[in-house]
Chain A
Amino acid sequence: GENVEQHPSTLSVQEGDSAVIKCTYSDSASNYFPWYKQELGKRPQLIIDIRSNVGEKKDQRIAVTLNKTAKHFSLHITETQPEDSAVYFCAAIIVWSSNTGKLIFGQGTTLQVKP
């Protein structure tokens, strides 16, 4: 089955710097890669996602890149702010036409943005 590895487990940056979190997946059939942000005690919130037919996607300060050949994808946060501090999870899934498929999560990255 699918396996997702996420690095680093913790990341500390200064406010205004960029943060990059990387994930690798094992199943080349995976075709959807979302990123979630989870604050302490709260639900994971979808912040950006990318499908396998796209190499890069950007939404304001957040971007995700996908390298299907190498089977890895990354989250890029620019101009980080203290409110970006949270745990970030990557995930991979094979979504079939019949709406089946299950998300497999990475281990999570705790991002701390220092003011």
Chain B
Amino acid sequence: GAVVSQHPSWVICKSGTSVKIECRSLDFQATTMFWYRQFPKQSLMLMATSNEGSKATYEQGVEKDKFLINHASLTLSTLTVTSAHPEDSSFYICSARSSGGYAQYFGPGTRLTVL
């Protein structure tokens, strides 16, 4: 149980294009989903928190117009990196928590490379 999938696992795109990453909870309903960014050999940095049906809450310093988050259903959240630039290259990981639960489960991550 408590499986979170993420797609794609890796993506290479040209500078200026937009990239969408999907995060799905496969066997539970995720009231809350989180998006993290991780640089090599560093910890996970929370970008935003999203609750199903409401606007995402972004962490300080994260541009909400650049990182668009949608949590349209209890099993799906998407992160769209708009007008990507090389400095957006990173490992993006989503996680999900079920309603009333404490534990948070992570997706396998998406490696984004912007050329």
CA of A103 to CA of B109, assembled, Å: 17
Interface residues of B in 56-115 (CB under 8 A from A): 93, 95, 97, 99-109, 111
Interface centre among B93, B100, B101, B102 (most CB of A within 10 A): B102
Q: Tell me if B's interface is mostly helix, strand, loop or mixed.
A: strand
Residues of A with C-beta under 8 A to B93 = 43-44
Interface residues of B (CB under 8 A from A): 4, 31-32, 34, 42-44, 46, 49, 51, 93, 95, 97, 99-109, 111
30 A–B contacts from the bound complex (CB under 8 Å):
A34-B104, A36-B106, A41-B111, A42-B109, A43-B4, A43-B93, A43-B106, A43-B108, A43-B109, A44-B44, A44-B93, A44-B106, A46-B103, A46-B104, A49-B102, A49-B103, A95-B102, A99-B97, A99-B99, A99-B101, A100-B32, A100-B51, A102-B46, A102-B49, A103-B34, A103-B46, A103-B95, A105-B44, A108-B42, A108-B43
